[in-house]
Homo-oligomer: A and B are copies of this chain.
């Protein structure tokens, strides 16, 4: 029987040390996009996992990729619970919009600030600390834990699916607790049974060998215009995707899925319209329509675009080069190679064979079955830890390499993080979580060890 009081007392007694350890995690700029701090972070994480008695291993990846940190902690009981997190973070730019240094854990008005506090170091470390608290207060674990912690989640988990393929005999489990999820604007714990996929592209247009004087525009092709024209064929001004044959490959959301989406007790959305300075949702949708679109629709998003002179004042150049970063969020049955292929054909057909497409990374979409052991355990653990019933949603609008373990290995998987809140500013300046939620995440993890072990 799980002694929740003893567990909670231990967490409380170790509060400041746990936060100090958290500060050490945040201090390492483990930015996968440029490789900074990746190895020191992998080493610190490995050491922390050893301290709770886990056997650990760092798996190097091809092309100098961030190593996978793998850990196992065998307990007394039968079932195996796998935990997925990532130790890499998004770049901290634009730095001048942060109120505190991005790689220093700041405590202010009940909040914790820093790059990665929500995505994903808070989840990662609070789960490890929860296992420490369990063993210290309850004795041996009633199950086996396996950790898969990668360092490339923010660059589309380039190597994870290949690594999973090579190590599938290591990775059998009865359920996976994934990252992501958190609280809605009313503070209710919310988790998801699946996620969208993603394909991240760069589109490049090449012009003259160097920037030229813009007076030459009547005779010299301009790559910025080529790119703008090409992009404008991909999506209409009403936000509908116009890529040839895209629609044809989409699995229509099942009536059951739509019913579950519409029935979800979502009376707020994962973005605060007022705080984010938005006059309304896209195309004037109401909340319900916006949420349905968020969960069911694929996207084609310009994440960045750059060409020519973009500093202060006027410089009259015809640029040598233009590029855009475009992410496509994928729903069944879109996959990164398929989207790449459709994009190439679409552009070629319209005379844009000159636009170079680079696929930087991608992940298949993933959905898990309803009512799995891990889902039942998460529902009960959530009720225990938070005192209210969790909200289950069929899919998160974010992406991750969940398919590698869930769809590919067939292990039911739940996005069940417990630190994020709707103003966490994940991927933005001033990323934050509530300090109380950092410890709530520990209580949830403690409860889950019990409920997962005791689910039939």
Are the CB atoms of A232 and B229 closer together than 8 Å?
Answer: yes
Nearest CB in chain B: distance from A192 CB, A: 12
Cα A34 to Cα B297 with chains together (Å): 45
B277 A209 Cβ-Cβ under 8 A = yes
| Whole-angstrom CA separation of A318 from B220 in the bound complex | 32
**Residues A428 and B215 in contact, CB atoms below 8 Å apart:** no
Taken together, the copies of this chain in the complex come to 2
* A308 nearest in chain B by CB position: B304
**Chain A contacts with B in 18-68, Cβ cutoff 8 A:** 32-34
Q: How far is the CA of A210 from the CA of B269 in the complex (A)?
A: 17
Is A322 an interface residue when CB atoms closer than 8 A count as contact?
A: yes
Task: Return A243 CB to nearest CB of chain B, in Å.
Answer: 14
A312 interface residue per 8 A CB criterion:
yes
| Known A-B contacts A228-B302, A316-B327; A276 and B212 likewise in contact (beta carbons under 8 Å) | yes
A216 closest partner in B (C-beta):
B271
Residues of B within 8 A of A297 (CB): 218
A422 to chain B, nearest CB (A): 11
In contact, A305 and B322 (Cβ under 8 angstroms): yes
What 0/1 readout, one digit per residue, does chain A (203-229) give for beta carbons within 8 Å of chain B? 000001111111111111110110011
Q: Given A196-B215, A220-B281, does the pair A316, B303 have CB atoms closer than 8 Å?
A: yes
Cα–Cα, bound, A294→B313 (Å): 25
Within 8 A of B (CB), among A238-271: 239, 269-271
- Nearest CB on B from A29, distance (A): 14
**Bound form: Cα–Cα A196–B94 in Å:** 39
Known contacts being A212-B428, A306-B310, is A285 close to B219, with CB within 8 Å?
yes
Interface residues of A in 81-102 (CB under 8 A from B): 90-91, 93-94, 97
Which residues of chain B are within 8 angstroms of A209 by Cβ–Cβ distance?
A: 275-278
Does A282 count as interface, using CB distance less than 8 angstroms?
Answer: yes
The answer to whether B302 touches A222 (Cβ under 8 A) is: yes
Task: Answer whether residue A290 sits at the interface, using C-beta atoms and an 8 A cutoff.
Answer: yes
In the assembled complex, the CB of A182 is this many whole angstroms from the nearest CB of chain B, namely 12
Tell me the bound Cα distance from A283 to B391 in angstroms. 58
- Residues in B with CB closer than 8 Å to A196 are 215
- Tell me which residues across on chain B come within 8 A of A304, comparing CB atoms: 224, 307-310, 315, 317, 319
The one of B198, B285, B302 in contact with A319, judged by C-beta atoms closer than 8 angstroms, is B302
| Residues of chain B lying within 8 A (CB to CB) of residue A94 | 211
* 11 A-B pairs whose Cβ atoms sit less than 8 Å apart in the complex: A200-B316, A210-B425, A210-B428, A213-B426, A215-B299, A216-B294, A218-B397, A219-B290, A304-B315, A304-B317, A316-B399
Query: Ordered nearest first, which 6 A-B pairs have the shortest CB separation?
Result: A33-B313, A209-B277, A232-B232, A304-B308, A224-B302, A306-B310
